[in-house]
């Protein structure tokens, strides 16, 4: 077996590979840019090599620097992770020429499958179901419009070398094709150094289901079940699960056999993923093949018990697969939430900054479930503008889908992050969504269920009662601390705290009375009593305890006269008063937020790529005002109503902070 490997990547996937290599007794080498000098993967690896400035094009994407790092450290093989150089035929070939093993498929398989246009041709030749479309190179917007008109709308414009939702647009009309073509080419060139795009029919109400395959260098290929990846935002996966709630065993077998046939046709010899767009009637069409480890691979690992990174390393070394198709058994259900540095209340725009608090839930057993957290960050670390905004991948595994979802919801409630905006409130709310729970999914799920964007829902019913009980329990604990403060005045009786409490929880109001029974407090809400047991202390960002014997977690942040609470996808500020305080609080005037309607504010930290208007120009609703790039994604900011431009305060090339004023309207 190899004695030392280099990981040509960063973040959580670099840390993930290091964990398996360490378990196998293999030494690891990390590479890092200036921005990642203090990153977790650098600390975890046995050795680390600096490879350049923060820009990926000058560091992580430079093949010569990776090879030089291998030679300098004596690394015998390279694991590319995902993204960056993972699907570059030239990288695999350069390593081979240098006598270094690529822990991935052979260059020929990458060439055949890594290019989305060529892969569709190969799939058609292997008799794999394919989507109608134009697989030739498209050189101009006019050509793209002509092709789209012939196929019929809607169509998808996609970068040939794309991935991660970059260089991809859905168009419903010829005008959208022209604009989408330009944006897709620009993003593809920026992210992948390849601006080729193609056009294909977009299947309405589709599901995204993919098959994990694993091959060796001796001609053996197997499939390890499927993953459902239909919960997407801007073509970027957000939540994945395995297996799919749609498929039956017969469809699973047909998809798996087609995936294996395609892999064998190109002599595939590593872990890879064959993606299908799937109709609600279980019809399926080949989408693309990812010739690398997928971001969402943990859900497959959890239901099969197979460490895909280990198998990739063993196959690269020349070993035969240790499994046959008959050995593959699917056990239980796994759900994965991608935790991103983005603001779901601002259209999921990226957020950057320091992780003032980063405390994931404990890994390991949670009753009948298992919790796993793949991450590449740490408390005090920085979320950089230069790379993907992923913070972690939170995975839960349980005997049934509902149990896995419930475990995921509990784990999200216990995941504390401060210092940046993040999408935990959104995925927490999603775990409670009836349509998600029912498994009635499609790639349009988020757009259909959250058409006006996302706002954390106010608590209702049993969730509201639980949150009121937690708020009173927190208030009671803080009162107990006050009673124990040293050096209080002697000779005066201590303040007798009123045991009756009034909780203003958003628009709802709860009245409760606290009774202590040893380590348990009982809160009486009229005829309903809730017993509370918790070791929470003031300052902890996560409240953990038992409500009527059921384990519960909630996000808790101190506010004036109470706590801000997030639990089970709901959020509210809980003000806890005595009866007299509640009466006085009701008379207080509310502070009204300043009107910012006359300004265009930068919705995320980013770089101004273009300003599309001039001072004095009259702009109609929906017209483009400017374009801001953040984390390799180009975001066009449009007018929300008819306006006249009074002042422009930013210019092309400016780097802006969130809420910076870009322009003012008359």
| Active-site annotation, residues | 288
Strand partners, 134: 199
Contact 397, 536 (CB under 8 A): no
Residue 626: Cβ-neighbour burial (10 angstroms; 0-12, 13-18, 19+): buried
Which residue, among 550, 568, 543, has the nearest Cα to 471 in the 3D structure? Answer: 543
Q: Which two tokens stand for residue 19?
A: 């964990």
CA distance 66 to 92: 11
Reduced 3-state DSSP string for 48-76? EEEEECCCHHHCCCCHHHHHHHHHHHCCC
3-state helix, strand, coil in the chain (%, to 5): 30, 35, 35
End-to-end CA distance of the chain, in Å?
Answer: 69
CB of 67 closer than 8 Å to CB of 97 = no
């038992």: which residue's tokens? 546
3-state SS track over 346-406 = HCCEECCEECCEEECCCCEEECCEEEEEEECCCCCCEECCCCCCEEEEEEEEECCHHHHHH
Count of CA atoms in the C-beta half-sphere (13 A) of 575: 16
**What Å distances lie between residue 172 and 114, 202, 624, CA to CA?**
27, 10, 18
Eight-state DSSP code of residue 120: H
How many residues are there in the chain? 666
Distance CA 404, CA 336 (A): 9
Q: Would strands 643-648 and 364-366 be described as parallel, antiparallel, or unpaired? A: unpaired
CA distance linking residue 11 with residue 375, whole number of Å: 7
Q: Tell me the CA distances in angstroms from 542 to 182, 398, 555, 558, 612, one per residue in order.
A: 46, 23, 5, 11, 45
DSSP structure string for 306-321: --HHHHHHHHHHTPPP
323: number of Cβ within 10 Å: 15
Let me know: does 275 contact 287? Beta carbons within 8 Å: yes
Helix (H, G, I), strand (E, B) or coil at 571: strand
With contact defined as beta carbons under 8 Å apart, do 604 and 628 qualify?
yes
Read off the tokens for 532. Answer: 């509370």
* Residue (of 22, 20, 17) closest to 31 by Cα position: 17
Burial (0-12, 13-18, 19+ Cβ within 10 Å), 361? buried
- Whether 160 and 194 have beta carbons less than 8 Å apart is answered as yes
In contact, 209 and 247? CB cutoff 8 Å: yes
Measure the CA–CA gap between 530 and 504, rounded to whole angstroms.
18
What is the DSSP pairing of strand 27-33 with strand 4-7?
parallel
């Amino acid at each position: 077996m190899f004695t030392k490997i280099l990981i040509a990547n960063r973040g959580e996937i670099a840390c993930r590979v290091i964990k398996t290599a360490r378990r196998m007794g293999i030494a690891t080498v990390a590479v890092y840019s200036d921005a990642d000098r203090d990153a977790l993967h650098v600390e975890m690896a046995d050795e680390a090599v600096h490879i350049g400035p923060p820009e990926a094009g000058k560091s992580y994407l430079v093949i010569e620097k990776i090879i030089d790092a291998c030679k300098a450290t004596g690394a015998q093989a390279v694991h590319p992770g995902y993204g960056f150089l993972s699907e570059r035929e030239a990288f695999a070939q350069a390593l081979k020429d240098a006598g270094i093993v690529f822990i991935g498929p052979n260059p020929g398989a990458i060439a055949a499958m890594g290019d989305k246009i060529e892969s569709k041709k190969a799939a058609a030749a292997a008799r794999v179901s394919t989507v109608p479309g134009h697989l030739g190179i498209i050189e101009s917007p006019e050509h793209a419009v002509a092709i789209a008109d012939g196929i019929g709308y809607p169509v998808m414009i996609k970068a040939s070398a794309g991935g991660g939702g970059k260089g991809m647009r859905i168009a419903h009309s010829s005008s959208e094709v022209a604009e989408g073509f330009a944006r897709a080419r620009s993003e593809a060139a920026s992210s992948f150094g390849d601006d080729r795009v193609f056009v294909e029919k977009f299947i309405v109400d589709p599901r995204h289901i993919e098959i994990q395959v694993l091959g060796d260098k001796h001609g053996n290929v197997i499939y390890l079940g499927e993953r459902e990846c239909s919960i997407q935002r801007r073509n970027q996966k957000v939540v994945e699960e395995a297996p799919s709630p749609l498929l039956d065993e017969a469809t699973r077998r047909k998809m798996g056999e087609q995936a294996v046939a395609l892999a064998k046709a190109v002599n595939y010899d590593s872990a890879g993923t064959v993606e299908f767009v799937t109709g609600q009637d279980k019809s399926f069409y080949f989408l693309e093949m990812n010739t690398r480890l997928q971001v969402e691979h943990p859900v497959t690992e959890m239901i099969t018990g197979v460490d895909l990174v280990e198998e990739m390393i063993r196959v690269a070394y020349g070993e035969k697969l240790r499994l046959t198709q008959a050995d593959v058994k699917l056990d239980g259900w796994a759900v994965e939430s991608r935790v991103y540095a983005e603001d779901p209340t601002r259209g999921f725009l990226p957020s950057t900054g320091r992780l003032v608090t980063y405390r994931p839930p404990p890994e390991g057993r949670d009753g009948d479930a298992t919790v796993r957290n793949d991450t590449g960050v740490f408390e005090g670390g920085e979320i950089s503008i230069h790379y993907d905004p992923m913070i972690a991948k939170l995975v839960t595994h349980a005997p049934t889908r509902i149990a896995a979802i419930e475990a995921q919801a509990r784990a999200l409630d216990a995941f504390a992050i401060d210092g940046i905006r993040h999408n935990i409130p959104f995925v927490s709310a999603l775990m409670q969504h009836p349509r998600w729970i029912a498994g009635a999914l499609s790639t349009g799920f988020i757009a259909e269920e959250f058409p006006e964007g996302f706002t954390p829902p106010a608590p209702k019913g049993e969730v509201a009662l639980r949150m009121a009980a937690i708020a009173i329990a927190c208030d009671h604990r803080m009162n107990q601390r006050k009673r124990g403060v040293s050096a209080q005045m002697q000779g005066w009786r201590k303040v007798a705290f009123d045991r009756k409490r009034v909780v203003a929880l958003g628009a709802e109001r709860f009245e409760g009375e606290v009774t202590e029974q040893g380590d348990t407090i009982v809160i009486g809400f009229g005829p309903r009593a809730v017993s509370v047991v918790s070791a929470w202390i003031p300052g902890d960002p996560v409240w953990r305890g038992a409500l009527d014997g059921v384990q519960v977690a909630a996000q808790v942040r101190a506010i004036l006269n109470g706590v801000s609470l997030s639990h089970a996808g709901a959020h509210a500020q809980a003000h806890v008063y005595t009866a007299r305080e509640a009466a006085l609080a009701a008379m207080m005037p509310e502070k009204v937020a300043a009107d910012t309607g006359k300004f265009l504010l930068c919705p995320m930290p980013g770089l101004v790529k273009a300003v599309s208007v001039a001072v004095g120009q009259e702009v109609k609703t929906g017209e483009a005002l400017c374009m801001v790039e953040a984390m390799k994604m180009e975001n066009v900011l449009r007018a929300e109503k008819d306006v006249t431009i009074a002042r422009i305060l930013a210019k092309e090339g400016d780097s802006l902070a969130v809420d910076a004023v870009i322009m003012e309207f008359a």
